[in-house]
Amino acid sequence: GDSVTQMEGPVTLSEEAFLTINCTYTATGYPSLFWYVQYPGEGLQLLLKATKADDKGSNKGFEATYRKETTSFHLEKGSVQVSDSAVYFCALTRSSSNTGKLIFGQGTTLQVKP
């Protein structure tokens, strides 16, 4: 079945460091891919998405490129801030599904220190 695998956390970085959180997926067809962020005490928020191969999603300085050849959707940010500390989830939904049902990775905790 469809699945999403993320790198183990927590990831601890100093402010202004470069961030990469790896995400790979297994799915039939051409899924849509997402990154969600969960700040402490809050619900998940959509960070960015990509719906077809080679698309690049971007938001708030974060970027991820849909790589079908490597079935990956790695999240990157050039310079992290303390306020980026949160849990990040990679997710997919089948393109053939119109229900919006999401399959999530296990989440990666990011801790940014001043």
For other proteins, the binding residues (CB under 8 A) are 4, 32, 34, 36, 41-46, 49, 51-52, 89, 93, 95, 98-107
Least Å distance, CB 86 to other proteins, is 13
Report how far residue 64's alpha carbon sits from residue 4's, in angstroms, rounded to the nearest whole number: 15
Q: Closest Cα to residue 93, out of 56, 36, 40, 51? A: 51
CB-wise, 71 or 95, nearer to other proteins? 95
Nearest distance, CB of residue 42 and other proteins, angstroms: 6
- Residue 19 or 90: the one with the smaller Cβ distance to other proteins is 90
Rounded-to-integer distance, Cα 76 and Cα 70, Å: 16
Classify 55 as helix, strand or coil. coil
